[in-house]
Amino acid sequence: MNRFSLAGRKALVTGASRGIGRALALALAEAGAEVFCAGRDLVALETVAAGLREAGYAATAVKLDVSTPAAVAECFAALAGMTPTLDILVNNAGVEDVCPSLDVDEALWDKILNTNLKGAFFCAQAAARMMSKGGAILNLCSLTSEVGVPTAAPYGASKSGLVGVTRALAAEWAPLGIRVNGIGPGYFRTSMTEVFYENEAWAKAMLAKIPLARFGELEDLAGAAVFLCSPASSYITGQVLYVDGGYLASI
């Protein structure tokens, strides 16, 4: 079981103030990593980091807006002052706006792509420069990386692109000892996706498509994330593991 341990490793989790990001920060901390909780809402991040410290884990809040490369560079410069190296990056920060494709404008497109795709790439680039002895990068992909979802064209484009980035970086950075993988959550109820679940008809219809007959719980993502960030997956790179209750296998 020591292969799953993250003891002695330093991890940065973006979008860690709530939802999936907060759950993954906790999972990595429980596995032994020192966690840097990054995001735009420093007050919320401080609350998350304080909770982790109270539980006996090492955690620090770091302000980061992934949507602009300049802000990413500023954050990682500050991070370098806290730790000389980084072992794990979890690219979780993301935004989603439901909008009919005929109504999508450039501002909405840029908002989603800049955060979900461009931000993830430049965070990965900055993290790789700090991974002097190899490391693991985990990108949060989506079911929309594989299937089309009406009213989610920009989001789907960003998450499909993230699969491409995952594979390209895995191939390019393997000689550096850096592994790059992704996890694709299925249907998980979070503050970002709450708008879908408020529609009872939608929720009932979607639940019927999931072989395990339930929506995901945040703890369902913990094992997959720790596995792909740990030595237990040392020969795995360029892959996306879908944690979806069997949804993609059955459509």
> In the structure, what pLDDT confidence band is assigned to residue 60 with cuts at 50, 70 and 90?
very high
The pTM for the full model equals 0.95
pLDDT, tens digit, 9 for 90 and up, residues 9-19:
999 999 999 99
3-state secondary structure of 247: helix
Position 191 scores a pLDDT of 76
- Superfamily designation of domain 2-242: NAD(P)-binding Rossmann-like Domain (3.40.50.720)
- The arithmetic mean of pLDDT across residues 109-138, rounded, is 97
- CB within 8 A of 212, min separation 6: which ones? 245, 246
pLDDT, tens digit, 9 for 90 and up, residues 126-178:
999 999 889 999 999 999 999 999 999 999 999 999 999 999 999 999 999 99
- The arithmetic mean of pLDDT across residues 3-26, rounded, is 97
Any catalytic annotation for residue 155? yes
| Order of strands across the sheet that contains 88-91 | 59-63, 34-39, 10-14, 88-91, 135-140, 178-185, 240-243
> In the structure, what pLDDT confidence band is assigned to residue 197 with cuts at 50, 70 and 90?
confident
**Burial classification of residue 200, based on how many CB atoms lie within 10 Å of its CB (0-12 exposed, 13-18 middle, 19 or more buried):** exposed
Q: Of 155, 187, 242, 247, which is the active-site residue?
A: 155
pLDDT, tens digit, 9 for 90 and up, residues 211-220:
999 999 999 9
How many other CB atoms sit within 10 Å of the CB of residue 210? 17
